[in-house]
Amino acid sequence: MYAGLVTRALAFAVDAAIVDLTGIFVGVVVGLGLSVLKTPDSVDHLLLAIGGVLFVVWTVAYFVGFWSTTGQTPGNRLMHIRVRRASEDAALRPRWAFVRLIGTGLAALPLLLGFLPMLLTDRRRGLQDMLGRSVVVHVRAGGAR
Amino acid sequence: MRVPLLSQGLSVGRRASSAAADAAGRAALAGLDALLDWRYTDEAVQRVLSSPVADRAVGHALRGPLVDAIARDLTRYAVLERVADELVADEAELERVVGSVVDSPVVQRAATQVLGSRLLDTIVERLLESEELWLMVDEIAHSPAVTDAIGQQSVGFADQVAGQVRVRSQRADAGLERVARRLLRRPR
């Protein structure tokens, strides 16, 4: 059975919270550390840019890492769903996981219209699933269903 | 010649006295049976037992060495252990005895009196004041069994909440799809 929009949105919200809270925590710690040092503005800007890049890398690593290994991010695990290849019951390859992440961004760009196919297709696939050759299925506590 | 005659005479005398003793014993037993069957015997026993004589007799017995002797014999012959073994072996009987004791009005009255008495308040106050009690409570609260139980309960509750969220989200999935298909006129 394929997971629908609401379930996947809740799982994604949990993941977004984890990614953002981790980023905020690290940012606050680094910011507090730097606050005692007198650094020029140019250095601050550079550190800000580096922090931004690291946050993007962290986000990509989080989603690509989980999708291409267990197929379950912590949010997916909480909602008992799993990302797998559309053609077979296996985890995505890292490059297709990366494509899927880019697809998620693309699906959100046109006022979230890229997610609309999830409501209309039989396998509940959004733009990101079509680009990443994936589907999202419900799993029991022990395995797929 | 005279010695055997004397011996015979003594033997005859012993047998005669033994026979007489037997006859007297049998007569006494018959008399006792008759006494026990007598219709006034119960009444007579009751009167004796309810008389001051019986009170004094019991008092004498309890003041005397009889109680000590009974206690010694109870211990020596393991009477209490044997009774306990019998009771434990017969579980139904044990339950009946315990039940009848617990349900008896006397025990209930005693329990009510203890609960309502100042003694219980004093005991509780003393317990609450004792440092050992709080050390013990602290020990129990930090014991692995208790912390495991609390942890399991918390995890169980979180699982329950997450399970409800999953069920409702799946219903919402289906509902949202129906609405979207109806709006876009895309039947399944």
DSSP A35-79: HTS---HHHHHHHHHHHHHHHHHHHHHHHHHHHHTTS--HHHHHH
Task: Test A4 with B177 for CB contact under 8 angstroms.
Answer: yes
Residue A77, domain member (yes or no): yes
Residue B22, domain member (yes or no): yes
Residue B128, domain member (yes or no): no
Residue A144, domain member (yes or no): no
Residue B141, domain member (yes or no): no
Region B163-168 average pLDDT: 93
Contact between B176 and A119 under an 8 Å Cβ cutoff? The reply is yes
Per-residue pLDDT of chain A (145 residues; tens, 9 = 90+): 899 999 999 999 999 999 999 999 999 998 898 888 888 888 888 988 999 999 999 999 999 999 999 999 999 999 999 999 999 999 999 999 999 999 999 999 999 999 999 999 999 999 999 999 999 999 986 554 5
How far apart CA B142 and CA B152 sit, in angstroms, is 15
Task: Test A10 with B184 for CB contact under 8 angstroms.
Answer: no
Residue A103, domain member (yes or no): yes
How far apart CA B11 and CA B154 sit, in angstroms, is 99
Range of the domain at A111: 5-138
How far apart CA B118 and CA B122 sit, in angstroms, is 6
Contact between A132 and A103 under an 8 Å Cβ cutoff? The reply is yes
The verdict on B172 touching A (C-beta cutoff 8 Å) is yes
Residue A143, domain member (yes or no): no
DSSP B89-134: HSHHHHHHHHHHHHHSHHHHHHHHHHHHSHHHHHHHHHHHH-HHHH
Region B90-104 average pLDDT: 82
The verdict on B159 touching A (C-beta cutoff 8 Å) is no
Residue B159, domain member (yes or no): no
DSSP state of A112: T
Residue A58, domain member (yes or no): yes
Ramachandran bin of A27, using left for φ above 0, alpha for ψ from -120 to 50, beta for the remaining angles:
alpha
Task: Quote the minimal CA–CA distance from A143 to chain B in Å.
Answer: 16
Region B62-72 average pLDDT: 86
Task: Test B173 with A3 for CB contact under 8 angstroms.
Answer: yes
Range of the domain at B1: 1-38
The number of folded domains in chain B is 1
Residue B153, domain member (yes or no): no
Residue B32, domain member (yes or no): yes
Distances (CA, A) of A55 to A22, A48, A50, A58, A143: 9, 10, 9, 5, 32
The number of folded domains in chain A is 1
Q: What is the pLDDT of residues B30-61, one digit of tens each?
A: 999 988 888 898 888 888 888 888 888 888 88
Contacts of B174 in chain A (CB under 8 A): 4
Residue B31, domain member (yes or no): yes
